[in-house]
Structure 1
Amino acid sequence: MDFVSVRVITHDVERLATFWEQVTGLPATRPVPVFAELRTPAGTIAIGAPATIGMLGDAAPVTGQNGSVLLELRVDDVDAAWERVKRLVPQTVPEIVLEPTDMPWGNRSMILRDPDGGLVNLFTPVTPEAKAKYRR
């Protein structure tokens, strides 16, 4: 089995696609107005309007109410990402939840919120063990 993507459902696909482009530096493709995606070497961040999951009816995810998922992206240098991202507050990035911090499991992480309130962790492995775990 291979992980392919995670899809975030939003009422404003363009706003969220722009957020991800500015935070990651990756371009988003927008094949139709209700869908966009950013491809990374490990998988895709997909962004869809509620219309993309309408067939799920009452089982469909509710936009802006994610309280249990944290999207995590490994970056080459979290401190450099911090310097870039902090300039995006508050226009594109509404909130920095955690400035770059060394975690006990060997990563240096910063956590921010996307425009719909979702949490995003940008991290860099810093200890030898963490670097070995994420070696490409």
Structure 2
Amino acid sequence: MRRNLIAASILTVILISSIFGLLIRINKRAMAQSISDAPPALINTCLITNDVNRLTDFYAKVLKIRPERTGKDYVEFHTGVGVLAIFSAEAQEKYIPGSARADENHSAILQFKVGDVDQEYARLHDIVQTWVKGPTNQPWGTRSIYFRDPDGNLVDFFTMLNSA
């Protein structure tokens, strides 16, 4: 009787282990499937520059975020939603020749949601050298300021307007 009880216990453990192993394999396949079907997530925007220190100093003041440096060629600003990275043009050319040219962006806008556009405009007045547009209510429901960073990249600080 005792042997039967031990044998039954061993069989139960083997059965449970087999079922558990099967569930793990099924779950791994399901997770791999869901990850491969997921749309890409934009988490990092990288600016290529001829002067990493100048651009880092500018964005440290503008974003009020302490930069995280990896050597002399790469800096990150973790915004809580994504990362703004700054990378040297010299290093970019070394790693991926001919892929990017610094100081030539005229087609992308870095957009940052802020608490109060008018306060930011006043705060940034002595930091920003090139203003494109002062505080303005936009037809798409934001109040924005537009300015250029030292490399000429267009930056938009915006606040959502009340729809009332």
Specify the TM-score bucket, using the shorter chain as the normaliser. 0.7 to 0.9
2:81 is aligned, of 42, 46, 53, to: 42
Matches within 5 A, 1:90-129: 93-128=128-163
Flag the structure with more relative contact order, 1 or 2, with Cα contacts below 8 A and sequence separation at least 6: 1
Say if 2:107 is the partner of 1:68. Answer: yes
1:7 aligns with 46
1:132 aligns with none
CA offset at residue 62 of structure 1? Answer: 0.5
CA distance in 2, matches of 1:127, 1:104: 12
CA offset at residue 22 of structure 1? Answer: 0.7
Secondary structure of the residue that 2:104 maps to in structure 1?
A: coil
CA distance in 1, matches of 2:59, 2:106: 19
Matched residue type, 1:35: Y
**Larger CA Rg, structure 1 vs 2:** 2
1:134 aligns with none
CA distance in 1, matches of 2:97, 2:62: 32
CA offset at residue 61 of structure 1? Answer: 1.1
Q: Given that residues 143 and 158 in structure 2 are in contact (C-alpha distance below 8 angstroms), is that contact kept between their aligned partners in structure 1? A: yes
Runs of at least 4 residues of structure 1 off by over 6 A?
Answer: none
CA offset at residue 30 of structure 1? Answer: 1.2
CA distance in 1, matches of 2:97, 2:69: 24
Secondary structure of the residue that 1:87 maps to in structure 2?
A: coil
Q: Given that residues 146 and 156 in structure 2 are in contact (C-alpha distance below 8 angstroms), is that contact kept between their aligned partners in structure 1? A: yes
Higher helix fraction (1 or 2): 2
Matched residue type, 2:45: V
2:15 aligns with none
CA offset at residue 72 of structure 1? Answer: 0.5
Q: Which runs of 5+ in 2 are unaligned?
A: 1-39
How high is the TM-score relative to the length of structure 2?
Answer: 0.72
